[in-house]
A and B are shown apart, each in its own frame.
Chain A
Amino acid sequence: MRMADAGLDYRPLAGALPAAVCVVDEAQWSAAAEGFAIAGARLVALWGSDRRDLGEGLVVFAAYAAVDGLACVRLRVAGDPPSYPDVSSRFPAASRMQRALADLLGIRALGAEDERPWLRHGAWPDEFLPLRRDADGTRRFDVEQERYEFVTVAGDGVHEIPVGPIHAGIIEPGHFRFSIVGEKVLRLEQRLGYVHKGIDKRFEGMAIGDAHRLAGRVSGDSTVAFAWAYAMAAESITGCEIPPRAAWLRALLLERERVANHLGDLGALGNDAALAFGLAQFSRLREQWLRANGEILGHRLLMDRVVPGGVAVDPDGGALDRLRRQYDDIEAEVRTLRAIYDEHAGLQDRFQTTGVVKPELAAQLGLTGLAGRASGQAGDLRVDLPCPPYDRLAVKRAGDTRGDVAARVALRFDEMLESLRLLREITKQLPAGDTRRSLQSAAEGFGVGWVEGWRGDVLVALEADGSGLVRRCHCHDPSWQNWPVLEHAVIGNIVPDFPLINKSFNLSYSGQDL
Chain B
Amino acid sequence: MLLLARQILKAGVCTEKAPEPNDAWHVGGERVQGEILRLLGRALTIRQVDAGSCNGCELEIHALNNPYYNLEGRGVRFVASPRHADMLLVTGPVAANMKIAVQRAYEATPDPKLVVAVGDCGCSGGIFGEGYASCGRVSNVIPVDVAVPGCPPPPLEILRGILSAVAVKRP
* A contact residues vs B (CB 8 Å cutoff): 119, 121, 123-124, 128, 130, 135, 137-141, 143, 145, 165-166, 168-173, 193-199, 201-202, 213-214, 217-221, 223, 264, 277, 279-281, 283-284, 286-288, 290-291, 294, 300-301, 303, 336-337, 339-340, 343-344, 508-510, 513
Contacts and interface: CB of A to CB of B under 8 A. Distances in A.
B96 A300 contact: no
A171 B96 contact: no
A166 B95 CA distance: 13
Contacts of B35: none
Contacts of A135: 132
Contact of B56 (A130, A197, A281, A301): A301
Interface stretch (B37-45, B64-72, B160-168): B64-72
Contact of A213 (B60, B65, B68, B127): B127
A325 to B, nearest CB: 12
B94 to A, nearest CB: 9
A124 B63 contact: no
B63 A301 contact: no
Contacts of A217: 54, 56, 127-128, 151
B50 A171 contact: yes
B4 A344 contact: yes
B59 A165 contact: no
B52 interface: yes
Contact of A340 (B4, B56, B99, B130): B4
B92 interface: yes
A339 B97 CA distance: 44
Contact of B99 (A143, A170, A171): A143
Given A121-B97, A195-B52, A201-B133, 16 more contacts: A123-B95, A130-B133, A138-B131, A169-B48, A170-B48, A171-B58, A173-B101, A194-B52, A195-B97, A198-B134, A201-B131, A220-B59, A284-B67, A287-B63, A287-B68, A343-B3
B64 to A, nearest CB: 9
A510 B55 contact: yes
Given A213-B127, A284-B14, A141 B61 contact: no
A513 B4 CA distance: 40
A202 B129 CA distance: 8
Most buried by B among A138, A173, A199, A264: A173
B3 A194 contact: no
B133 A124 contact: yes
Contacts of A201: 131-133
Nearest to B7: A336
Interface residues of B, number: 53
Nearest to A277: B4
Would you list the 10 A-B pairs with minimal beta carbon distance, nearest first?
A220-B56, A123-B96, A168-B80, A198-B133, A283-B66, A220-B54, A220-B55, A197-B134, A217-B54, A121-B97
Interface string B60-91: 11110111100000000010111000000000
Given A172-B55, A194-B95, A165 B68 contact: no
B79 to A, nearest CB: 9
A298 to B, nearest CB: 12
Contacts of A166: 49-50, 82, 101, 105
B49 to A, nearest CB: 6
A173 B49 CA distance: 8
A510 B3 contact: no
Nearest to B4: A340
Interface string B117-145: 00000000001111111110000000000
Given A143-B99, A195-B95, A221 B59 contact: yes
Given A264-B62, A303-B151, A141 B80 contact: no
A300 B60 CA distance: 9
A336 B49 contact: no
B152 interface: yes
